[in-house]
Amino acid sequence: MGDFNAVLNMDDRIGGNPATVNQVMEFQDFVESCGLLELPPKGSTYTWSDRHEVQRMLSKIDWAFINNEWLLQMPAYIANYLPAGISDHSPIKVELLNAPGRISKPFKYCNIWATHPKFLEVVTTTWQNVGSGYAMLQVVKKLKSLKRNLKVLNKQYFRNIITEAEEDRTKLGQIWKALQFTPRDQNLQLKDVSDVIHVEPEDIARLFVEFYQELLGSKASTRTKAFKSFLSNGHVLTFEQQMEVLQPNSNKDVNKAMFSIDNNKSFGPNGYINATNITLIPKASNPEYASQFRPISCCNTLYKCISEVPCERLKQALTQLVAENQATFVTGRSLVHTVLICHDLMRHYNRKITPRCLIKVDLRKTYDMVSWEFIEEALIGYEFPVTFTQLVIACVTSTNFSVKINEQGYGYFEGKRGLRQGDPFHLFCLCL
């Protein structure tokens, strides 16, 4: 632990002369040959500064490394890089992570349960119990009953599976190496709009919930309208396509929709058809604000089955409705083509006298801030049947959200706008 006067990655230095590939590779080879791993970092991203007022150079050349023996005996430690103060180097303080208190984790289905001989018996017995109420209520009751029975199965036959996995030292080392540059949720700290740092789990959860409640749970004061008269001048659905999207759902359609969902996909909370867990994926190496996380929506499996059928029919119409220069998310088209065309256009932009411009679209507004009324107006403008339009809007607008942090859900609020990244509808609505 200390000043190694070397960087481990190209982006560990800003300002001044950039690090060379040979310098980086030499230090990486040294660390690997010694069997070292970086202690999970916290605090300052850069640990050294030349302290110049103008054109300051910053580097991360101070490191805290550990080996496998340390990892096995003391796994819950981090390296806190403190503010430099009067020195040009940041002090390094090794800290013990605060173990989180007992939390109530949501139910998760484990694929390994299906390998047990009693799995099908448990599922079949539970599902054959006929409950009272309308059909969808019976499904919800059966799911809740199945959840209890699967928990019993897990406790009887799989309770030690995590302990057994942790005993595999080689696999543990590989996992640690893969995660060494990933921010640790247990060590999460967050800044609010006033740049005040919060470290307590309750405060961090509150900031996330408030951020997404403002983003997804409120309507914009003004919005853009999708004018039917404008859309009708372009390609719209033909009568045959309108009849196609209104075809009754068959058992084959439902079966195809259900089995199109990947076995290893995350899922939303059980018991509510359109309740959604927001899983946070960092967009930066050291995120400090809630806006630096990408919200991925884990929709309920039953909802995905319901929405996949109309999505499949919507997909068939996209090739006619979407302009040829829109290549993304349309069957038979590739995003690579538009990237190559854009590259060729930009290459000679500065060589011409004629004025020109490039427009950058804010995809955050496209996903998280799009108005539901705009989506409905667009579907009507493309002359989708009223019944189909109502189905799409019902799926999009009946959302409720919780934010998952360290496996625990926080908040429960109603959505008012936006398309969920994870909803089968979001890519097709984005194209339109």
Q: Is the predicted pLDDT of residue 174 greater than 70, yes or no?
A: no
Position 109 pLDDT exceeds 50:
yes
- Please check whether residue 384 is in contact with residue 428, taking contact to mean a CB–CB distance below 8 angstroms: no
**pLDDT tens-digit profile of 177-220?**
544 434 344 446 677 777 777 778 888 888 999 998 888 888 87
> Which of 68-72, 262-266, 398-402, 417-421 bottoms out in mean pLDDT, i.e. has the lowest?
262-266
List CB contacts of 267: < 8 A, sequence separation 6 or more.
109, 298, 299, 300, 301
In the prediction, which pLDDT does 135 show?
A: 80
Residue 291 pLDDT class (50, 70, 90 cuts): confident
- Tokens 């507004």 -> residue: 365
Nearest of 269, 326, 217 to residue 108 by alpha carbon: 269
Please give the pLDDT value at position 175.
60
| pLDDT, tens only, 365-396 | 666 778 888 888 888 888 889 998 898 888 88
In this prediction, residue 103 carries a pLDDT of 64
Q: Identify the residue whose tokens are 């200390």.
A: 2
The predicted pLDDT at position 16 comes to: 82
Whole-angstrom Cα distance, residue 274 to residue 298?
10
**Adjacent-strand bridge partners of 400:** 275, 414
Span 340-347, average pLDDT: 79
- Percentage of residues in the chain with pLDDT exceeding 70? 84
Residue 180: the pLDDT is 44
Measured CA to CA in angstroms, residue 92 lies from 7, 24, 56, 83, 289 at distances of 16, 22, 22, 9, 23
Q: What is the pLDDT of residues 6-28, one digit of tens each?
A: 998 888 888 888 888 888 889 98
Taking the domains of the chain in order of start, what are their residue ranges?
2-97, 101-180, 187-431
Confidence of residue 354 (pLDDT cuts 50, 70, 90): confident
| Assigned token pair, 239 | 């009568």
Q: What is the distance between the alpha carbons of residues 324 and 334, in angstroms, rounded to a whole number?
A: 11
CATH number of 2-97: 3.60.10.10
Per-residue pLDDT at 63: 92
Q: What is the mean pLDDT of the chain?
A: 80
Provide mean pLDDT across the span 316-323.
Answer: 76
Entry field: residues in the chain = 432
